[in-house]
Amino acid sequence: MADAGLRRVVPSDLYPLVLGFLRDNQLSEVANKFAKATGATQQDANASSLLDIYSFWLNRSASWEGYSQSIREQQQ
Q: Note if the pTM is more than 0.75.
A: no
Cβ of 20: how many Cβ atoms within 10 Å? 20
Give the residue extent of every domain in the chain. Answer: 11-74
| 70 has pLDDT over 90 | no
The rounded Cα 59 to chain-centroid distance in angstroms is 13
The reported pLDDT for the residue numbered 53 is 81
The reported pLDDT for the residue numbered 26 is 96
Q: At what angle do helices 15-24 and 28-38 cross, to 10 degrees?
A: 160
Q: What is the DSSP letter of 65?
A: H
